[in-house]
Amino acid sequence: MDQERALLDLLGLLELEPVPDRGDGEHFLGPAPLEPSSPVYGGHLAAQALAAAGRTVSAGLDVHSVHASFTRPAVPDTPFEHRVERVKDSTSFAARRVCTSQRGREVFALAASFHRPEPGLAHQDPMPDVPAPEDLPTYEERLTKAFGAQVSPLGKPYDQRFVGPLSFDVEKDPSLASARTQVWVRAKGELPAGAGGERERLLHACLLVYICDVTMLETVLVRHGVSWFHANGRSIDYTVWIHHPFRADDWLLCAHETPVAAGGRGLVLGRVFTRDGTLAATLAQEGLLRVSGGQGQAG
């Protein structure tokens, strides 16, 4: 599957089917992912649940915060049912809670807040000085160099261009270890240009939530010189705050850092910048990371 086809498939997975009223909130059915990997990638659940929440919000309100909790591993062969609870509706704000279930069991929970933009104080941190994405090798080219064997395109709906070392590189050379990673990301393919309203902005927010979930825990492994050959991980909690509009099919710089790892969990904080330096979003994620083979002894 090529990456542009993968993006079209992802957009199809965000098209949710309303379920008849049951008297306990609004229900939407979301397709299971096309990839058979188990457990299901967390970004899939978060993006679908956000899409469901956004379907219930009045015009003029944009999502500004998303708080996700992964309660049980989900499997790839069964659709997801998203139950949306309308917590608050006012002129300026809307709040939604989403409970996502599969086979009658809750697997995911999301809280999302929507706000009507208004004038106020404004400031932001500057964007890091990094090479342009066009000047960096693709993720597959990086893996080819790390493994010494050709790695074909992975067929993902996104493109990644890492600025610094990958965890595979640091495992070979511990002197490259760092508590920070920087990676350019974008949806692979051009999204249809709409009228630029909140529904279009919601789609780009869903794609950001989907794409950025894959970038963050790598930072913990780079800090400790452990590759994915010797670790497995999954998201526990995932938060996204959105500050400014952006397009997910244009390059976004994710600048991540990990302040702490303890008890088998790693915390990663991130900032997402558009190409022109606008701080579009802030991220936080805690993940479970289990290491095998005596790796990860660095402090």
Please enumerate in sequence order all residues whose Cβ is within 8 A of that of 169, keeping only pairs 6 or more positions apart, or say none: 146, 176
Is there a catalytic annotation at residue 21?
Answer: no
Report the Cα 197 to chain-centroid distance in Å.
22
Q: Please pick, among 48, 113, 182, 235, the residue that the annotation labels catalytic.
A: 235
Q: How many CB atoms lie within 10 A of CB 85?
A: 15
Q: Please pick, among 285, 292, 295, 297, the residue that the annotation labels catalytic.
A: 285
* Radius of gyration (C-alpha) of the chain in whole angstroms: 19
Residue with tokens 């080219």: 141
Is there a catalytic annotation at residue 213?
Answer: yes
DSSP per-residue codes, the chain: --HHHHHHHHHHHT-PEEE---SSSEEEEEPPPSS--SSPPHHHHHHHHHHHHHTTS-TT-EEEEEEEEE-S---TTS-EEEEEEEEEE-SSEEEEEEEEEETTEEEEEEEEEEE---------PPPP----GGGS--HHHHHHHHHTS-------SEEEEESS--HHHHHH-GGG--SEEEEEEEESSPPPP----HHHHHHHHHHHHHHHTTTSTHHHHHHHT--TTSEEEEEEEEEEEE-S---TTS-EEEEEEEEEEETTEEEEEEEEEETTS-EEEEEEEEEEEEE-TT-----
Is there a catalytic annotation at residue 235?
Answer: yes
Q: Please pick, among 159, 169, 213, 249, the residue that the annotation labels catalytic.
A: 213
Looking at the annotation, which residues are catalytic? 213, 235, 285
